[in-house]
């Protein structure tokens, strides 16, 4: 066997190993993926008021309790986030309830918990809503997106 064939074979094997490890790192643990996605969504809501909501929530989103859909959610976020501060820790604010199926039909159900505080002029932000909700997420084109919410504790929300 020629030396150049051996060198090219070794280089090919190295590329396969490196490429495979990168692909597996990208696939990663579902819980970690969901945690990262929910953290990014929380940050996005506070930064843009839901301006890029489509990256995190499916356009077919529905709140089972209230009947609110994607447009309603987007409108509410645009109107009501400027005086709110969100405290969310993805390592403690997400409880994984179930994950069903594999591939592109995968659905993950979580209980999301976070604290919303309302800004009060001249004071530190005051607790407003200990938000809790059950969310169903679907893996769509490699990204976990919220498709449904339920059991949202709307009645526990503070009053402005």
Q: Is residue 112 part of a domain?
A: yes
Q: Are 62 and 148 in contact (CB under 8 A)?
A: yes
* pLDDT over 50 at 25, yes or no: no
Q: What tens digit of pLDDT does each residue of 117-154 get?
A: 888 888 888 888 889 999 999 988 888 999 999 998 87
Residue 66 belongs to some domain of the structure: yes
**73-112: pLDDT as tens digits:** 888 888 767 788 889 898 899 999 988 766 557 889 999 9
Q: Is 73 helix (H, G, I), strand (E, B) or coil?
A: helix
Helix (H) or strand (E) holding 22: helix 3-27
CATH of residue 128's domain is 3.10.450.50
Q: Which residues sit opposite 146 in a β-bridge?
A: 57, 137
Tell me the HSE value of 70 on the side-chain side, using a 13 A CA sphere. 14
In a domain, 6, yes or no: no
CB 103 within 8 A of CB 138: no
Spatial neighbors of 132 by CB under 8 A, at least 6 apart, are: 111, 112, 113, 151, 152, 153, 156
Q: Give me the domain span that covers residue 121.
A: 29-156
The residues pairing with 45 across neighbouring beta strands, listed in sequence order, are: none
CA distances from 31 to 13, 137, 144 (A): 31, 12, 10
Residue at 57 is within a domain? yes
In this structure, are strands 57-63 and 143-150 parallel, antiparallel, or unpaired? parallel
In-domain check, residue 3: no
Tell me if 8 is assigned to some domain. no
Q: How many domains does the chain have?
A: 1
| Helix (H), strand (E) at residue 63 | strand 57-63
């Amino acid at each position: 066997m020629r030396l150049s064939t051996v060198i090219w074979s070794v280089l090919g094997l190295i590329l396969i190993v490196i490429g495979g490890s990168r692909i597996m790192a990208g696939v990663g643990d579902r819980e970690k993926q969901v945690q990262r996605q929910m953290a990014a969504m929380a940050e996005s809501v506070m930064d843009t008021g839901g301006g890029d909501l489509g990256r995190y929530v499916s356009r077919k989103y529905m709140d089972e309790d209230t009947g609110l859909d994607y447009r309603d959610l987007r409108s509410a976020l645009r109107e009501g986030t400027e005086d709110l501060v969100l405290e969310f820790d993805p390592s403690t604010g997400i409880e994984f309830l179930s994950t069903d199926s594999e591939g592109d039909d995968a659905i993950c159900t979580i209980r999301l918990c976070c604290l919303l505080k309302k800004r009060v002029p001249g004071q530190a932000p005051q607790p407003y809503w200990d938000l809790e909700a059950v969310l169903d997420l679907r893996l769509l084109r490699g990204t976990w997106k919220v498709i449904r919410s339920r059991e949202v504790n709307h009645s526990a929300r503070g009053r402005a």
